[in-house]
Amino acid sequence: MPATPLTSHTCKLDDDQGKDLQLHLVAQGWEFRDVPYARFAGSRGKVNLVFYESGKLVVQGKETQEFVEFVLEPLILKQAKVGYEELLNPELLAPRLGIDESGKGDFFGPLCVAGVYVNARVIEAWKAHGIRDSKAISSDRKILDLANIITGTPGCVTSVVAMGNESYNRLYGKFKSVNRLLAWGHARVIENLLSQKAKMNPAPVRAISDQFASDKATVSKALMELGRDLELVQRHKAEEDIAVAAASILARAEFVTRLNQLSKAWGMVLPKGASASVDAAAKNFISNHGVKNLPMISKMHFRTALRAQGLPEPEKTVWRRPTKPKADGV
């Protein structure tokens, strides 16, 4: 299946490149307009662009790919990337695991951790489907549809670990830390995936996840027997990797499904996140079902649980970066 044409593109230009682009647009008869915080903005045919004071260039429209391939890259950037990403960076097609979670910031509902194995064939199959970080997808229906595409892709291997609220609260009591609990969940998913290694062709070279703890060793120490033989890569914005993005979609789909099931089981809407509407729903739940049942649908270490019960909240601890000791005589 051919890849969907690019309709949006963002990159950075230096001052000289910005001037070169503006001169080219003037020479080609582009129509210019004023945009706040932009050095210039213009449109021609089915492509629009804005070049901001920060140096950020945003190109949008049905003819974005044509503009990037035939104007921006060869004339301004003096490089070719669009359409050649895999040639320029073969690691994009490397067989690997992506790990991500959903529900960490939601008072109601479980914590779900998902893992996905991808190889070059899987990645190629996803090009037309818009597999991207679940946080960039607002529709639950879209999340569920993409989850079905991911799990139905030949060669893709998946695993989801869902910690229901009773289990979550018990594990939190054991680990005393969300990060340590998350590390256990990530390690469990990696182990589950590697137990299916016979289905992976070729074998994964690494596992990639978001760095949610300040100390990368938090996850490394939690790895189980099979996972210790795999390179673990933790980085910020890991969801930019398609394997992690796919894992984020599976985790969110599981979370959304289970939260809806809880809502139906208890006869009330349990909102996502942690907000004033969540506070109101928690108080309403206690009024209807009693405080003893709150741990069955919520994460009890959230301040929301205290507010819902009318209990005092502990003072918030303000984290400050440790200051380096001054050298003698300074």
Say if residue 146 is in the same domain as residue 51.
Answer: no
**CATH code for position 16:** 3.30.310.10
CA atoms of 20 and 154, how far apart (whole Å) = 46
Total domain count, the chain: 2
Say if residue 79 is in the same domain as residue 96.
Answer: no
Strands (E), 46-138: 47-52, 56-60, 96-102, 111-118
Q: At which residue do the structure tokens 């994460």 appear?
A: 299
Q: Which domain holds residue 13?
A: 8-83
Q: Residue 59 in contact with residue 48, Cβ under 8 Å?
A: yes
Residue 70 sits at φ, ψ, to 5 deg, of -110, -10
DSSP state of 91: G
Residue 30 lies in a domain: yes
- On the question of pLDDT at 323 being above 80, the answer is no
Per-residue pLDDT tens over the stretch 111-143: 999 999 999 999 989 877 878 878 888 899 999
Per-residue pLDDT tens over the stretch 15-68: 999 999 999 999 999 999 999 999 999 999 999 999 999 999 999 999 998 898
Mean pLDDT of the chain: 89
Asked which of 54, 83, 112 is the last residue of a domain, the reply is 83
Higher pLDDT, 185 or 89: 185
Say if residue 247 is in the same domain as residue 153.
Answer: yes
DSSP state of 274: S
Give pLDDT, residue 236: 82
Peptide bond preceding 202 in cis form (omega within 30 of 0):
yes
Say if residue 38 is in the same domain as residue 103.
Answer: no
Least reliable range by pLDDT among 91-95, 253-257, 264-268:
91-95
Per-residue pLDDT tens over the stretch 289-308: 999 999 999 999 999 999 99
